[in-house]
Amino acid sequence: MGDADTSVQAVECDLLVVGSGAAGFMAALSAAQAGLKVVVLEKTDTVGGTTALSEGMVWIPGNRQAKEAGLHDSPEAAIAYIEAAAGTAFVPEQASAYAHHAAEALAFAEQEMGVRYVLATGSIDYHQQFPGATRGMRALKAGIVDGRILGADLKRLRMPLPTTMLWGGMTIAGEDLLHFFNVGRSVKSTWKVLGLVARYWLERMAGHPRGLRLANGNGLIAALWAAAKKRNVQVLTGARVASLTLSDQSVPRVSGAVVNIQGRTVRYRARCGVVLACGGFPGASRLRERFYPHVHQGRTHHTLAPSTNTGNGLALAEAVGAALRTGLSRPAAWTPVPLVPQRDGTRVGFPHYIDRAKPGIIAITQDGRRFTNEAASYHDFVHSMLGVSGTDTDEPAFWLIADQRAQRRYGLGAAPPAPMPLGSWQRSGYLASAPTIAELAVRIKVPMKTLEYTVAHFNAMAHCGVDTDFGRGNDPYDQANGDPSCTPNPCIGPLKHGPFHAVRIWPGDIGTFVGLSTGPQGQVNDTHGNPISALYAVGNDAASFMGGSYPAAGITVGAALVYGYLAGRSAAASTSA
């Protein structure tokens, strides 16, 4: 083998997009639709970023679907909700841009992709006490996408988390979950699931490396990528940006980038600038220690975002004078994470979104006591976890506890509900099980008498349907994630049917909130608060427009679509300026 070619190749384009998640693709599509020649650079070998691993829901105030359903929303109501959620970190210009252009951005995405979104009517804004909160009006989910639209590029699409698939390649759409939960209880659901499973195995037997029925964020990326192909957007993988270049003008302007592509150095000249959409820094231990106080204190943290998202976009921008925005209520989008053992000996995280709200399930610390309202949003739940202090020698441990009836009805983390067996989950150590609460306490090394008292006390409250300790089930959001068949409180049921089960959970995240300071069109600001010409940041490279809060399903992917759309449109408009 000879030495790698070190010659520098020069390439010209109109817009250079760094990152291949929803934010990057939306910027590319809106610019390409306006006639720009766009190149998307992805440093890994797979396309999709954090979006490909996500649920893919979007939060879109004033959307067409709500209007067609006769539901009234307004930009003013959405801005009021954002302001209440963001608190002191509220930026009026960003909120206004989002509220007034979100529906337009979604309509553009639907038109380009040929995929229709539908209202997630069961999803409500998480903080119903805030002004402007709505129910079942702003969160939407995309339809199913056929993987064949990508052709041979399907193999380059980032796979979902293995803990969210079946048999290593079958995607489970959000709309499918209820059917899986009702297998054996409903004829309709049983036939639905049998049909999905049969389709999957027929596709695998036909030689496909995965199921072709793509859903959630994975399907969204597939549809965006296919749309980008139609617009002649070039997507390059294995392309790492080494630095941004500035034009030699009296006012500095980003004019392109130096890129390493499989041993070659390519200097891109981008006439309309560069969009950074690199996914933030969930995989950067140095930045996590800097911005996550609990990590700085030595406590464990697990991310569900790609480990390859290591803050490249932030570093590239800071090198040309950009400012970070750090004064947020929380530095990342939190979620509780258990670690699921894999056949190769590794452990992979799984998102605990709503099972905590089901009756018959509680959360405890290592001392055997409840510490919060388990039905609170995942973001707020982890905030409570982080508020529990450990000793000087040991960080606090957390467990989800369920009785047999609850586990078999709702599942517990990645351990599935009936009729799926639990033996492999117990043998792997993921699921600890015991005939009695006392024996379970011994298994997970929790004080026996304390855990017995905690369960007995909770059972007494469940009998009355009132959580006098933490108010579980009092809030409409709690109730929406409970079980309506459980009365008088859909979130509270006793733990009394053995065997009993436990899963350990850790604080985790689904992406970062600290990011670059940006304007309403995604323009990156310098340390003096002035926009850097022709430089944009979208997705998790930009600071959270919600100020570090997570008050609704779909705010991260929604922000990716909306601000990506606005950034691409702004870059295209600069050609005539």
Q: Which long-range contacts (CB under 8 A, 24 or more apart) does 437-441 make?
A: 437/495, 437/500, 440/401, 440/500, 440/501, 440/502, 441/368
- What percent of the chain clears pLDDT 90, i.e. is strictly above it? 82
- What percent of the chain clears pLDDT 70, i.e. is strictly above it? 98
Q: Is residue 1 part of a domain?
A: no
Torsion of CA 481, 484, 488, 494, to 10 degrees: -70
pLDDT for position 185: 79
Read off φ and ψ for residue 349, nearest 5 degrees. Answer: -75, 165
Q: Which pair of tokens denotes residue 531?
A: 């926009």
Cis peptide before 499 (omega within 30 of 0): yes
Residue type, 139: A
Domain match, 366 and 445 both:
yes
b/e map 262-273, b = 16+ CB within 10 Å: eeeebbbebbbb
On the question of pLDDT at 4 being above 60, the answer is no
Domain match, 393 and 443 both:
yes
Average confidence (pLDDT) over 97-117: 96
Range in 147-161, 187-201, 370-384 with the lowest mean pLDDT: 187-201
On the question of pLDDT at 575 being above 80, the answer is no
537 CB-near residues (< 8 Å, 6+ apart): 275, 276, 277, 313, 317, 322, 515, 516, 518, 522, 524
Domain match, 147 and 32 both:
yes
Taking the C-alpha atoms of residue 162 and residue 121, their distance in angstroms, rounded to an integer, is: 28
Q: How many domains does the chain have?
A: 3
Taking the C-alpha atoms of residue 32 and residue 228, their distance in angstroms, rounded to an integer, is: 8
Between CA 445 and CA 455, with CA 450 as vertex, the angle to 5 degrees is: 105
Alpha-carbon separation of residue 27 from 6, 314, 409 (angstroms): 31, 18, 43
Domain match, 257 and 354 both:
no
Domain match, 197 and 158 both:
no
Domain match, 417 and 472 both:
yes
Q: Is residue 459 part of a domain?
A: yes
pLDDT for position 1: 37
Taking the C-alpha atoms of residue 200 and residue 202, their distance in angstroms, rounded to an integer, is: 5
pLDDT for position 255: 95
Query: Would you place residue 22 in the very low, low, confident or very high pLDDT band (cuts 50, 70, 90)?
Result: very high
Q: Is the separation of the CB atoms in 33 and 231 below 8 Å?
A: yes
DSSP string, 192-219: HHHHHHHHHHHHHHTT-SS-SEE-HHHH
Q: Is residue 547 part of a domain?
A: yes
Average confidence (pLDDT) over 214-241: 96
pLDDT for position 49: 96
pLDDT for position 176: 81
Residue 6 is classified by DSSP as -
- Using the Cα atoms of residue 547, residue 551, residue 556 and residue 558 in order, give the sign of their dihedral: negative
Domain match, 155 and 176 both:
no
On the question of pLDDT at 114 being above 50, the answer is yes
pTM of the model: 0.94
Domain match, 160 and 21 both:
yes
- At 414-456, the pLDDT tens digits run 998 888 899 999 999 999 999 999 999 999 999 999 999 999 9
Q: Is residue 231 part of a domain?
A: yes
Q: Is residue 467 part of a domain?
A: yes
Residue 291's nearest CA partner among 319, 311, 275, 317 is: 311
Average confidence (pLDDT) over 318-340: 95
- Determine the structural domain holding residue 466 and report its residue range: 334-509
Taking the C-alpha atoms of residue 290 and residue 162, their distance in angstroms, rounded to an integer, is: 30
Domain match, 358 and 484 both:
yes
Domain match, 475 and 570 both:
no
Among candidate residues 466, 487, 509, the one where a domain is terminated? 509
Torsion of CA 478, 483, 488, 494, to 10 degrees: -100
| CA 557 distance to own-chain centroid | 7
pLDDT for position 153: 95
pLDDT for position 393: 60
pLDDT for position 190: 86
- Roughly how many angstroms between the first and final C-alpha of the chain, as a whole number? 49
Among candidate residues 462, 480, 509, the one where a domain is terminated? 509
Q: Is residue 498 part of a domain?
A: yes
Q: Which pair of tokens denotes residue 550?
A: 């997570």
344 CB-near residues (< 8 Å, 6+ apart): none
Among candidate residues 509, 528, 561, the one where a domain is terminated? 509
Taking the C-alpha atoms of residue 238 and residue 261, their distance in angstroms, rounded to an integer, is: 6
On the question of pLDDT at 5 being above 60, the answer is no
Domain match, 386 and 439 both:
yes
Q: Is residue 2 part of a domain?
A: no
Domain match, 83 and 204 both:
no
Average confidence (pLDDT) over 247-252: 76
Q: Which pair of tokens denotes residue 261?
A: 């592509």
CB atoms < 10 A from the CB of 386, how many? 17
On the question of pLDDT at 383 being above 70, the answer is yes
Alpha-carbon separation of residue 417 from 185, 187, 409 (angstroms): 12, 17, 5
Range in 188-202, 223-237, 457-471 with the lowest mean pLDDT: 188-202
What's the CATH code of the domain at 47? 3.50.50.60
On the question of pLDDT at 392 being above 70, the answer is no
Q: Is residue 345 part of a domain?
A: yes
Q: Kindly report the average pLDDT of the chain as a whole number.
A: 93
What's the CATH code of the domain at 499? 3.90.700.10
Read off φ and ψ for residue 53, nearest 5 degrees. Answer: -100, -5
Q: Which pair of tokens denotes residue 457?
A: 């006390």
